Amino acid sequence: MAMPRSDGDDPRLLREQIARTRAELGSTVEALAAKADVKARAKDAAAQAAERAKGAAADAARNLAGTVSDKAVAVRRPLPLAAIGAAVLVAVLVAVAVRRRGR
């Protein structure tokens, strides 16, 4: 007497399962090959590090330029303000001295 077939014995299902397993195995092999390619991984890591360094250097340059610009403005502003303040003080003192002499 023949035994009934289970789903695991169906040739169509077995072929589909084999096809899925082959596809998964192919993906796994590709991933392992990429991990095993040390030279390419080192090149990629170096390129990424170089890009990060360039970005950091550009940020630092912008920050430094802004800081220097701010310092230059801070240094330039007090001098004209001090000169204007001194001129006003001299004008007030001259005006007071002229009034006192006029009496």
Q: Which domain holds residue 19?
A: 12-102
Residue 7 and residue 13 in contact, taking contact as beta carbons nearer than 8 Å: yes
CA pair distance 71, 74, nearest whole angstrom: 5
pTM check: above 0.75: no
Number of domains in the chain: 1
> What pLDDT was estimated at residue 22?
94
- Residues 8-61 pLDDT 10s: 578 999 999 999 999 999 999 988 888 888 888 888 889 999 999 988 888 888
Residue positions counted in the chain: 103
Residue whose token pair is 């920050």: 63
In a domain, 5, yes or no: no
Classify residue 18: in a domain, yes or no: yes
Residues 46-88 have pLDDT tens digits of 999 999 998 888 888 888 777 766 666 555 556 677 778 888 8
Asked whether residue 91 is domain-assigned, the answer is yes
6 in a domain, yes or no? Answer: no
Q: Please check the confidence at residue 99 and state whether its pLDDT lies above 60.
A: yes
Quick check: is 25 in a domain?
yes
